[in-house]
Amino acid sequence: MNTKLIKTALRNISRNKRRSILSGSAIAVAAMSIVALFSLIEGMTDDMAFNLKTYYTGEVRVKHADYDTYERYNPMHLTVDWNSVDKALAKEDMVKSYVPRISFPSNLYIGGSNFGAMGVGADFEKEAGYQDLAGSLKAGRIPENGKNEMMMGAILARDLKLEIGDRVTVMSTTAARGTNAITLEIVGLFAFPVGALNSKYFWVPLDRAQYFLRMDGGVQEVLIKVNDEVTSIAAAPLLKAAVENSAGVEMDIRPWQELSTTYGMLKMAQMIYNFIAMFFFLLGSTVIINTTMMVIFERMREIGTLGALGMHGKELIRLFFLEGTFISMIGSAVGVAIGIGLTLWLSKTGIDYTDAMSGMDFEMSAIVFPKLSVGKTVFVYFYSVIIASAATFIPSRHAAKIEPVEALRYV
Amino acid sequence: MKNKIVMIMILLSLLIPVSVIALTGEEIIRKADDMQVFETSEATGEMRIKDRFGVKVSTFISWSRGSDESLIEFTSKAERGQKVLRTEDELYLFYPDAEELIRMQGSMLRQSMLGSDVSYEDMTGGKDRISQYDVVLEGEESVKGNDCYVLMMTAKVRTVPYPKEKVWIDKETFLVWKAEYYTKSGRLLKEMEALEVQEFEDRLIAVETRISDKMKTDTETIMVISDLRINVPIDDDKFSLEELSW
Amino acid sequence: MKFLISLAFKNLTRYKRRTLITAGAIAVGLMMYIFIDSMLMGAEIESVRNLKWFETASARILNDEYWENRFQKPMDLNISSPDKIIKTLDDNGITATKRMVFSGDLILNAEDFGEDGNLAATVTAIDPTRDFDVFNFGTTLVDGRFLEPGEDAVLLGSWFAEDIGAEVGYWITVVTRGNGGFYEAMDLEIVGILNCPNPNVNRQLLMMPISTADEYLAMEGAVTEINVSLPENADVNMEVERIQGMLNGDNLTVMSWEAMAVDYLALAEAKRGGTSMILFLIFIIAAVGISNTMLMAIFERIKELGMMRSLGMSNTKIRLAFMFEAAGIGVIGSVMGVVLGIFADMFIVNIGIDYGFLLRDMDIGYRLQAIFRGVWNPGTMVKAFFMGIIISIVVAYLPTKRALKMDIPSCLRHQ
């Protein structure tokens, strides 16, 4: 590849600004859209992962070793000793935050009938450092540790015709495998981004749950969030060793990826989104190919002239290839840059589709924050450059075969 | 009234050769039911509940009046203060931390008490079984060395939980040694067995009873009564809702 | 005018390559738009479908008091003469089926399952001859066979079966209460396993023939619900009212799937925000593709335009000529695009993408029977068709105008 060819290519590009801009912009738009799409996908899957980790499993979850085996029998007595777990986790640098939880299926005794609901015992002071509870509060306030209070999912409250200020009697199986009942006052209504939580759950202070369920110092599970530098899969075994050491018993400590089928759902959603992204690619690619082809055919006369001047075959192809490559390098760069800019801007404000969720009588927080994936962005860049350059081959090969005389006559 | 009938029966049986007189099924059941009813009673007891996770013991004090009214107050640590009140038509639960009494009715009665093999429904079980069941005296069998009548009771109505009951009633003392509860097609649902008995004034009382829910794996509940006192004075309003909330 | 049109037509045929490439750009762009729109709509509708096909049907007839007590699944709040009602609906062209839903305990025996166990379950008793006309379980059988009326058999959801380790041929016992309160235990054989795309259903489904349940539980023909199927584009609320009218009193209520949907959370999880964004991006790409190609096509012919001007053709006529040509290309491209879009839709709607198969090796714990289907969206096709033509014309207009402003020699010199 001699420098004269390169210079010629560059000169051609700058001389025919209109043409270069047209084909370059097509490439730019394709690249930009694909970057934006990938970020949107990242944002959506991130959102799902966030919900999983905040409300269900944490990034690493600590539970009694036998709990999962007997889960269907509601083994309230298979608890985890909070003190020893707390002690062990407080010392770990890799841990960002952690909270104890107790989930207990219960019956709400209202107007002489029983209604099934799920109770969650949580330490509200600790929860403040783990998730944004206040942001999910629709009405009222968060219960105070130590008081006989609860906050209820907004849909559940509506279904049961309850309001803030109402007192509800909760019956449940205890850790002593008996039953107990307690009356709590509804002080708040919440709306988490996951519908199921709002129609079936109510949250109570952890210490009241421990008292009511006869759990002494035990909790049902501890949800852990780890710092960004370490992955949950890597952290889990280390934390397992530390906690089991402190507690003296074996426990079930696993990263969230190994836990629920919901993670599988997430992976599936990701796959579907990536599938759609593939179509984007296809479309973008056809646009690029199409544009490049047009460019070549438009320059038939030019090809003829060059041919008459002695440039044939391989050199011609190389020339067009170089032109195509340079244009696509610039076009992709511009497109990717705009894509990045768009994503960064949207990642701050988020895409708010609360209005789009018509049919719900109230809003769940429904904002997706697109997230930039460096790896994918780099991939998109190189991909569009390669596609655009490759797209020059067929038409230029075709062009190179034409006799100069024919080409010159081409209008 | 009941005493009168018993008197008459005893006189008649004295006059007529025993082989000619046979008690009907209904009569046997009636006598067995009467055996379990006191004017008043007070007792201390415990429930030993065994399930797949182990054995759990709950202790209680109970009072009863006639066949319809009873009050149980739990004294074991896990259930301290919880009470169960049964009156003629109703069953109420009292929990110290709940601000209202819980009235168990309809399908709620089907729940098991304290996770045992005994349901609330079992506890309210009408003693008025004669009107709801057809009784057939099937024969005689010996249980733990005691000669028993074997009776088969088939439900006449659909509203009783156990469509079929087979009971072994002691010929002499009319104590129910064993009972088996079946579905219409003969599937065994629950089993009751008297493990230990004690004499009380003129009757035999089972002080240790085992009840087992055959539909659950490897579970049983053993009710033990210690310190039974009969016909003790009990306040009139002992079996009232106000007393329950106290 | 006729001259201009035939000029446009001749140009189109003379420069086949140019025409085809440009039309091709339009076609591909439109096809993609139609296809992705179908998929995205399909995704949105998926959760609604999962609901209607497997859980709520289009509407349901219930005893007046049932709904507010539905958590207890009270068998006594029932519909006493369902067959009469179903016949009335039949006569009015509405397909319906009766079902009885009740709760019970599922008893597993050690012989089949390895160890004894029991768990709470909800049993759905169906009419095997009609249920598939209203619900969509007909295609979900993955093992064994469907139910025959009157037999002592059950079907399980596949996730349920996996959870408890059940296989076709195992026996289970369902213990529940009959009409009045008496205990009943039913020994039932697992004859089939259903794997449907609705995970909620898969997790809990336990189906038995309604005549069997009726006999065991002494229901005397009474059922807890009648489920109604309505065509996809029906006005559900109107139909609900119509059906309510047919019931004249009788203490029965008709509820639409939307009214019942609050309980079923599949709908709540539908995230719609992304779809409009995605369609917008597709539209941009397609529009740019069309514009680019069209622009280049026009610019390429400025010389020709100059020649026409120098020959005396009026600006208007030239403009029209180019517009006609652009429209012509637009029409060809749009037609091609819509036809390709129809083929693409035919694939995605009828065959769909079996993502269960694609994911089968992934360990998410369960096998997925899930075929992702698109939706026919004629509105989108019409929109796309006209967009293709309009964009082509609009995009051709601007450079033409510019060329007409230039002086003729510059036009002729243009490259």
For residue C167, what are its two tokens? 């296989």
- The average pLDDT across C109-138 equals 88
Binning pLDDT at 50, 70 and 90, where does residue C415 land?
low
A211, A316: one domain: no
Pairing of strands A149-153, A201-205: antiparallel
Give the nearest chain C residue to B159 (CA atoms): C180
Q: Do B158 and C177 count as a contact with CB atoms less than 8 A apart? A: no
In this prediction, residue C263 carries a pLDDT of: 61
Average pLDDT for chain C: 84
Cα-based distances in Å from C221 to A305, C122, C303: 91, 20, 86
Chain B closest CA to C180's CA: distance in Å? Answer: 4
* Same domain (yes/no): A280, A362: yes
Nearest neighbour of B184 by CB, restricted to C105, C181, C184: C184
- Separation of alpha carbons A329 and A359, rounded Å: 47
Q: What is the mean pLDDT of chain B?
A: 85
Question: Which pLDDT score, from 0 to 100, does residue C357 have?
Answer: 58
Instruction: Please name the residues in contact with A302: beta carbons below 8 A apart, sequence gap of 6 or more.
Output: C415
d(CA C105, CA C123): 9
Range of the domain at A139: 66-249
Cα distance between residue C251 and residue C272, in whole Å: 38
In 3D space, the residue among A189, A175, A148, A409 whose CA is nearest the CA of residue A301 turns out to be: A409
Q: In this predicted structure, what is the pLDDT of residue C369?
A: 56
Query: What are B184-241's pLDDT values in tens digits?
Result: 988 999 999 999 998 887 888 889 999 999 888 788 999 999 888 888 888 888 888 8
In a domain, A342, yes or no: yes
Residue spans of beta strands (DSSP E) within A31-91: 60-64, 80-81
Min Cα distance C172 → chain B (Å) is 12
Q: A84 and A18: one domain?
A: no
The pLDDT of residue A214 is 92
Residue A256 lies in a domain: no
In terms of domains, do A190 and A319 share one?
no
Asked if residue A56 is part of any domain, the answer here is no
Contact at CB, B215 and C182, closer than 8 angstroms: no
Q: What residue type is assigned to position A278 of the chain? A: M
Q: Choose the final residue of a domain: A188, A216, A249.
A: A249
CB A206 within 8 A of CB A161: no
- Cβ distance B215 to C173 less than 8 Å, yes or no, reads yes
Question: What is the structure's pLDDT at B14?
Answer: 58
Q: Which residue among A37, A155, A294 sits closest to C262, beta carbon to beta carbon?
A: A155
Contact B46, B116 (CB under 8 A): no
**Distance from C-alpha of C359 to C-alpha of C371, rounded to nearest angstrom:** 11
Radius of gyration in angstroms for the set of CA atoms belonging to chain C, rounded to a whole number: 31
Q: B80 in contact with A at a CB cutoff of 8 Å?
A: no
Instruction: Determine which of C150-154, C159-163, C264-268, C383-387 has the lowest per-residue pLDDT on average.
Output: C264-268
Statement to judge: residues A46 and A126 lie in one domain? no
Residue with tokens 């990938």: A38
Q: What 8-state DSSP symbol labels residue C202?
A: H
Mutation target for A interface from C47, C364, C406: give the one with most A CBs within 10 A. Answer: C364
Spatial CA neighbour of A295 closest among A321, A271, A259 = A321
Residues of B in contact with A179 (CB under 8 A): 114-115
Contact, A279 vs C32, CB < 8 A?
Answer: yes
Q: Are the CB atoms for C134 and C196 separated by under 8 Å? A: no
Q: Which residues of C touch B189 (CB under 8 A)?
A: 175, 183, 185
Could you please report the per-residue DSSP string of A369-407? -----HHHHHHHHHHHHHHHHHHTHHHHHHHHHS-HHHH
User: What's the distance, CA C307 to chain centroid?
Assistant: 55
ipTM over 0.85: no
pLDDT tens sequence across C195-249: 888 777 888 899 999 999 999 999 999 999 999 999 888 888 898 988 888 887 7
How far is Cα C239 from Cα C342, in angstroms, rounded to an integer? Answer: 31
Give pLDDT < 70 ranges for chain A: 1, 260-265, 269, 272-273, 276, 279, 288, 292, 297, 312, 350-368, 399-400, 402-411
End-to-end CA distance of chain C: 29
**Of the listed ranges A279-293, B53-67, C170-184, C353-367, the one predicted with least confidence:** C353-367
User: Is A96 inside any structural domain?
Assistant: yes
A147 touches chain B (CB under 8 A): no
A240 near A251, Cβ under 8 Å? yes
- What pLDDT, on the 0 to 100 scale, is given for residue A410? 58
Reported as a single tens digit per residue, the pLDDT across C124-178 is 999 999 999 999 999 889 999 999 999 999 999 988 898 888 999 999 999 999 9
Does residue A258 belong to any structural domain of this protein?
no
Neighbour-count burial for C339-378, b at 16+ CB within 10 Å, e otherwise: ebbbebbeebbeeebebbebbeeeebebbbbbebbbbbbe
Q: How close is the nearest chain B Cα to the Cα of C127, in Å? A: 24
- With H, G, I as helix, E, B as strand and everything else as coil, classify residue B222: strand
Q: Which residues of C touch A284 (CB under 8 A)?
A: 285
A47, A71: one domain: no
Closest CB to B163 among C74, C173, C183:
C183
**pLDDT the model gives residue C368:** 55
Instruction: Please enumerate, as own/partner, the contacts of C308-314 that have beta carbons within 8 Å and a separation of 24 or more.
Output: C309/C404, C309/C408, C309/C411, C310/C408, C310/C412
| Residues A181 and A239 both lie in one domain | yes
For B71-114, how does the pLDDT look when each residue is reduced to its tens digit (9 = 90+)?
Answer: 999 999 888 999 999 888 789 999 999 999 999 887 788 888 88
pLDDT at B17 over 70: no
Residue A254 within any structural domain of the chain: no
DSSP single-letter state for residue A175: T
The answer to whether residue A389 is domain-embedded is yes
**CB of A206 closer than 8 Å to CB of B86:** no
B62's CB contacts (< 8 A; 6+ apart) are B41, B42, B43, B44, B45, B70, B71, B72, B73
Domain B24-245 has CATH 1.10.760.10: no
Q: Which chains touch B (3 or more CB pairs under 8 A)?
A: A, C
Report the alpha-carbon distance of residue A152 to residue A136 in Å, rounded: 11
Please indicate, yes or no, if residue A46 is contained in any of the structural domains: yes
Tokens of A367: 């904002």
| Domains of chain A: total | 2
Spell out the SS3 assignment of A228-277. Answer: CCCCHHHHHHHHHHHHHHHHCCCEEEEEHHHCCHHHHHHHHHHHHHHHHH
Among C198-212, C288-302, C385-399, name the one with the lowest average pLDDT.
C288-302
Question: In the predicted model, is pLDDT for residue B37 greater than 60?
Answer: yes
- Per CB-CB distance under 8 Å, the chain C contacts of B125 are none
Is a pLDDT exceeding 90 seen at residue B154?
yes
Q: Which of A196, A222, A249 is the last residue of a domain?
A: A249
Q: In A123-240, where do the E strands start and end?
A: 137-140, 149-153, 167-173, 179-190, 201-205, 218-219, 221-226
- Asked if C147 and C191 count as a contact pair (C-beta separation under 8 A), the reply is yes
Cα–Cα–Cα angle for B185, B187, B188, rounded to 5 degrees? 145
- From C118, C173, C178, residue closest to B158, measured CB to CB: C178
* Closest partner CB to A183 (pick from B49, B78, B100): B100
Query: In chain B, which residues have their Cβ closer than 8 Å to the Cβ of C104?
Result: none
**Min CA distance, A92 vs chain C (Å)?**
30
Structure tokens at A326: 């340079």
Test the B interface: residue of C183, C187, C215, C220 with most B CBs within 10 Å: C183
- Residue C180: name the closest of C233, C208, C218 by CA: C218
At B6 the pLDDT is 66
Q: Which residue of A has its CA nearest to B80?
A: A180
The pLDDT of residue A358:
40
Q: Does B132 touch chain C (CB under 8 A)?
A: no
Can you give the pLDDT at residue C293?
Answer: 73
Could you tell me if A332 and A395 lie in one domain? Answer: yes
Q: Chain B within 8 Å of A192 (Cβ-Cβ)?
A: no
Angle between helices A313-349 and A261-298 (to 10 degrees): 140
> Is there a contact between A282 and C119 if contact means CB atoms under 8 Å apart?
no
pLDDT of residue C126: 95
CA distance A110 to chain B (A): 9
Q: Nearest chain A residue to B94 by CA: give it.
A: A181
Looking at per-residue pLDDT, the higher value among B243 and C244 belongs to: C244
Residue boundaries of the structural domains of chain B: 24-245
**Under an 8 Å CB criterion, which residues of C touch B?**
72, 74, 105, 107, 115-118, 173, 175, 177-185, 187, 218
Instruction: Return the pLDDT at C267.
Output: 41
